[in-house]
Amino acid sequence: MPSSFNNNRYFQYEITLSSTDDYAAPTVTEVSVGLGGLIGVLTSSAFDTVNATNTIGSVNWTASGISASETVKLRIRTAPDDGGVPGLWSGWCGPANCSGSDYFSSGQAITNPALQSGANDQWIQYEATLESGGALSPMLTEVTIGHSEANYDFTLSYSPLLMEVVANQSARVGSVMVNPGTVVGVDRDAIISDSTNFTSTQAGISFSPASCLPNSGPCTVDVYAQIGTAGSYTMVIQGNNASGSYPNGITHTISFTLDVIPPITYDLSLSSSSDTIIKGLDTTQSILTITHNSGADEFVSITSSGVPAGVTVSFSLAPTGCSPYPSTCSITIAFSATSTTTSGVYPIVFSGVSSISGTTPVAPVTFTLGVSELFDFAMAYGPPNAPCTQSSSCSVEQGQSITVTADLTSVTTIGEQVTLTAEGLPWTPAIATGTSCTPSSGAPCSVQVVISPPLSVAQNNYTISLVGRSATKAKSLTYALTVTEGFQYSLVLNSSGGTVVRNGASASVLVDVIFRAGLTSKPVTLTVSGMNGFGTSGVSTSYLPDPPGATCTPNCQIQVVFSAPSSSVLGTYDLTIQGSGNGTDVTSPPAMYQLKVVDPFDFAFALSLSSDSMMVGDPPVSAVAFAGWTQGGDGSDVISLTSSVSPTPSTGTLAVSFSPTCGPGGCIVGLNSTTPTCLSDINITYPAVINGKPCLASTVTFTPSTSPALTSGNYTVTLIATCSSPTCAVIRTATFYLTVGTNLNFTVTASPASERVSTLPGSTGPVALTATLNAPAQPSTSDIVFSLDTGYVLPAGVTVCEEGASCSAGLTSASSCTLGATVGSTCSAPPITFSVAATASPGSYNIPIIGTSGLAKSIPALYLLKVGTFTLTAYTSSNLYTDPHQRPVVNFTWDPLSPFAGKSATFNAIDPAASVRPSAAFPNDPPAPGGESKVYVAGVSSGTNADQVLNAANATLLWNFGCASCTPVTSTQLNSPVSFNTSGRFSPRLSVTDNAGNVCYSITGSDATADNPCYCPLQLSADSMIVSKPPPTFREIKP
């Protein structure tokens, strides 16, 4: 649209009709709008030519309505393929360039190189521009773009022939086949007329022929390679069928891997490099080995040079060669010479050439071939060898050796090996073989043989032969041999066996080397060998003195020393000690020695008792000392027993003796791994047997002297067990503690001697412990220690209290005093008391208290402790009569004598003999009040009236008077009323109990028949008095 319309595309028109005539109106039948200068642009869709090497050949189109003002023009652009869609588009191109302003005319020739390159032109798109002057519109009906290709497509295939080639060597490695495919392109020929040409990215690759035409089917070209540098190569072969009609064509590639290896390098070697043959008779051979060093697998052909006339060199392989890859290969070469061959020495050179690279070996090899006539030689006596002084004769001792020399001279050009022997010897074997040499023309040589007559050969003159013998000739000489008496000796050991300790003492044996026979003594060297694995036992052998060590000249001595490190093998080894040297005879039979390898001997040591005590003059004290094997040794170790006493006595001695006795003390012998240990079996006497085997022990006896007497005290006796044999150096000790005392005669008393504790808990008053000396004492003073007698245990709930200490179950050393040495001397310990708990059981307890001083011990003093109850056991009054069994009798009356039923009567203990008191037996007793009996209880002093004086004490007693069919009365009073409920004959009874309810005294009337020493029959007032003997004197009756 013109600019006046602001470039708007759409427009409308408006018509206004008007008239002034009422009868006539204007009419519009047609409106024409003229448009001028119109342009239209059409862009096509993208077109895939399917060929990446496509070129643009022509652009043509068909249009109508064309005039000077109505025109059609085109331009195109191309793009490569990008996965099935167009890639990056080029700019818009015309026939000459791609500036964007160049347009095609239909059928115009194309000179634009961008459209003819055959690259990036697979996709095509065109743009058509239609222009109109306004009157007419041009019309585009068809666009044709011609794109040029090859006239056929194809594929390539490769057939390998070689996977590797030798560097710098041309070789056919394979072939490429061209397989024609579908004919392609827009402008195409009816038949295939363009050949496929081949190139490669790798220099050195060529093709024969350089191209082929697959017009009637596949065609093939051969591939050749000649590359100078070794390595692995990826070969890319490119085929292109471009032609004049199709200057780009189609290109396809195919690749393969080819290894280029360097030429072979190799060495040649001969199994033997020289030999001599007798012409017309002998042959010889040598094996030639080709060794591959590096490079290609090539066949190596062997060549020879320098072969003289008449000599034939033949090979075991045909063709003459082999491939050594990857290691070696061998060829046997045989040499022969005709009888007409000229004698001489010929170097024959062997070389090689490889099949591909023509490589020769690192160095050729030479075989020196000697060609000779039949060998002959002359033999003569050589110079004498010491001790011989003549070339053709000599004297030799039995068991010694001489060396004889012969000189050899070849009488032919080529030599032959000759061996010298001594034959016709007067012993077995009769031939002695010597050395060999090869005499040749101008090169004589010498040979020797050793002649060694044994000790068994007779002393005499002998003629023997010296024989030189080659493979074809033999020569001999006579030799005068004189055999004289030879050197002989013997070995004598100073012991047949010994023991060596691992990592400890060595063992040794002294060997006497004794001259036995011969003209002169010769040096002898000792060697030691053994059985049972001695060679691997780890035991080392040395010889003394050093120097000379293991060698000496008889008569002489050598000490053989055996040492065993900690790694040696334990065991017993049977050894053979032999002598040798300078042709001397070994001992026969050899000296035998048995060696034991053991661990260091060790043992345990203990006593059956560790302590004891005794008085001077008592029988000796004994203990058993036991030794037990723990390791090592061979059973021959001796354990010596000695002793020491500490401290040293001021007077007298303490003798320690052993049984059995060995030397200054005792000993124990024979410990080994099979003997019982016996250490845990104490308190047994010697000898003892454990599990059928005797214990190895010694009885130790301890005896104090009596004149002068051994000082009393505590002695420590150290028993020392010492092992000082070669297999051990061990000291073990055991300690015995012995207490020795002298007799000390003294008495211990406790004051008071008894007491009652009736109120629980409670305690006694102070008890004084006193020691009194009865006989003179040895020391000036003696320390007395008070204690409860051995084995005595206080009753449950009772403890003893020491001054300044807490209460316990026994006395400590704090309860002690020092007693003088004078008869009658006394000493007292601080007072003690006894504490009684509420849980203590009532009863009477005799508590034994002793005094000790060292081993001296007093007779126990009995302290009577009464707990909770008075026991009626002490009767000291004359008014207590006894029955015929010496039991006390108590008379009772009651008042009234004949009580009525339902009334009460009062029992009364009466004193029928009050008129006789005081008596001579008890002069201190006061007169007894009438109507009362005196009843004394333990712990109460004599003469005290129980009813009047001991009311407090009586309060702990219950007096029970009663009878059958009456109401008994229980009272703490001595006399109590008893109620009789009915009339009849009654048998009164009396019982006394403590407050705890324990009956301690019970009597009845006519029933009093129990045989109890604490039983007192009751005498009724109606009965007659029983008069027996005078009243006995009673002190104290102890249970």
Contact (Cβ atoms closer than 8 angstroms) between residue 437 and residue 408: yes
User: Is 3 among the domain residues?
Assistant: no
Same domain for 612 and 567: no
Contact (Cβ atoms closer than 8 angstroms) between residue 539 and residue 568: yes
User: Is 664 among the domain residues?
Assistant: yes
Q: Which amino acid is at 875?
A: Y
d(CA 126, CA 92): 8
Same domain for 897 and 986: yes
Same domain for 888 and 848: no
Nearest-CA neighbor of 972 among 989, 955, 991? 955
d(CA 849, CA 815): 11
d(CA 32, CA 37): 17
Same domain for 767 and 714: no
Q: How high is the pLDDT of residue 869?
A: 53
Nearest-CA neighbor of 737 among 723, 719, 717, 753? 717
With a CB cutoff of 8 Å and minimum separation 6, the contacts of 915 are: none
Same domain for 853 and 931: no
d(CA 816, CA 771): 10
Tokens of 688: 């003892």
Domain-terminating residue out of 818, 840, 867? 867
What phi and psi, each to the nearest 5 degrees, are found at residue 3?
-65, -20
> C-alpha dihedral over 825, 831, 837, 840, to 10 degrees?
10
Same domain for 178 and 103: no
d(CA 192, CA 246): 12
C-alpha distance from residue 436 to each of 44, 384, 448, 468 (Å): 111, 18, 8, 9
| Residue bearing tokens 């040297």 | 581
Confidence bin at 698 (pLDDT 50/70/90)? confident
User: Is 128 among the domain residues?
Assistant: yes
Q: How high is the pLDDT of residue 58?
A: 76
Q: Which amino acid is at 546?
A: D
| Residue bearing tokens 């043959």 | 277
| Per-residue pLDDT at 616 exceeds 60 | yes
Same domain for 530 and 578: yes
* Arithmetic mean of pLDDT, 386-407: 92
C-alpha distance from residue 432 to each of 390, 401, 420, 583 (Å): 20, 12, 9, 15
Same domain for 87 and 49: yes
What phi and psi, each to the nearest 5 degrees, are found at residue 985?
-95, 130
Q: Any idea what the CATH number is for the domain that residue 842 is in?
A: 2.60.40.2310
Same domain for 901 and 978: yes
* Arithmetic mean of pLDDT, 390-418: 89
Summarised one tens digit per residue, pLDDT across range 781-840 is 788 999 998 888 898 889 998 877 778 888 876 788 998 888 889 999 999 999 998 888
Tokens of 686: 């010697």
Summarised one tens digit per residue, pLDDT across range 373-387 is 888 899 999 999 999
Tokens of 671: 């410990």
Same domain for 167 and 130: no
d(CA 1018, CA 893): 10
Which range of 441-455, 603-617, 684-698, 893-907 scores highest in mean pLDDT? It is: 441-455
Q: Any idea what the CATH number is for the domain that residue 207 is in?
A: 2.60.40.10
Which of 47-61, 62-76, 235-249, 680-694 is the least confident region? 680-694
C-alpha distance from residue 441 to each of 105, 311, 409, 413, 698 (Å): 112, 22, 8, 5, 93
- Report the run of H or E that residue 647 belongs to, with start and end: none
Instruction: Evaluate the omega torsion of the peptide bond into residue 319 and state whether it is cis, within 30 degrees of 0.
Output: yes
Q: Which amino acid is at 127?
A: E
| Per-residue pLDDT at 200 exceeds 90 | no
User: Is 241 among the domain residues?
Assistant: yes
Helix/strand/coil for 168: coil
pTM here is 0.36
Summarised one tens digit per residue, pLDDT across range 748-773 is 999 998 887 877 788 888 999 999 99
Helix/strand/coil for 558: strand
Q: How high is the pLDDT of residue 904?
A: 55
What domain range includes position 788?
Answer: 746-867
Q: How high is the pLDDT of residue 312?
A: 94
DSSP 789-817: PTT--PPTTEEEEETTS--BSS--TTSEE
C-alpha distance from residue 132 to each of 51, 208, 367, 850 (Å): 38, 63, 107, 161
Domain-terminating residue out of 372, 388, 406? 372
User: Is 321 among the domain residues?
Assistant: yes
**How many domains, the chain?**
8
Exposure pattern of 824-860 as b/e (b: 16+ CB <10 Å)? ebebebbebbbbbeeebebebbebbbbbbbbbbbbeb
Higher pLDDT, 434 or 790: 434
Tokens of 783: 């320390």
Exposure pattern of 237-248 as b/e (b: 16+ CB <10 Å)? bebbbbbebbeb
| Per-residue pLDDT at 330 exceeds 90 | yes
Contact (Cβ atoms closer than 8 angstroms) between residue 226 and residue 170: yes
With a CB cutoff of 8 Å and minimum separation 6, the contacts of 680 are: none
Domain-terminating residue out of 718, 740, 762? 740
Which range of 309-318, 681-690, 927-936, 958-967 scores highest in mean pLDDT? It is: 309-318
User: Is 441 among the domain residues?
Assistant: no
Contact (Cβ atoms closer than 8 angstroms) between residue 552 and residue 584: no
Q: Any idea what the CATH number is for the domain that residue 54 is in?
A: 2.60.120
d(CA 826, CA 942): 28
d(CA 992, CA 1003): 9
Contact (Cβ atoms closer than 8 angstroms) between residue 764 and residue 833: yes
Q: In what order do the strands lie in the sheet with 697-704?
A: 602-607, 621-631, 697-704, 654-659
Same domain for 400 and 361: no
Residues forming a β-bridge with 393 = 480
- Average pLDDT of the chain is 78
Contact (Cβ atoms closer than 8 angstroms) between residue 647 and residue 717: no
Q: How high is the pLDDT of residue 1021?
A: 37
What phi and psi, each to the nearest 5 degrees, are found at residue 971?
-150, 155
Summarised one tens digit per residue, pLDDT across range 141-160 is 888 887 655 567 788 999 99
User: Is 480 among the domain residues?
Assistant: no
Same domain for 357 and 390: no
Contact (Cβ atoms closer than 8 angstroms) between residue 290 and residue 315: no
User: Is 1031 among the domain residues?
Assistant: no
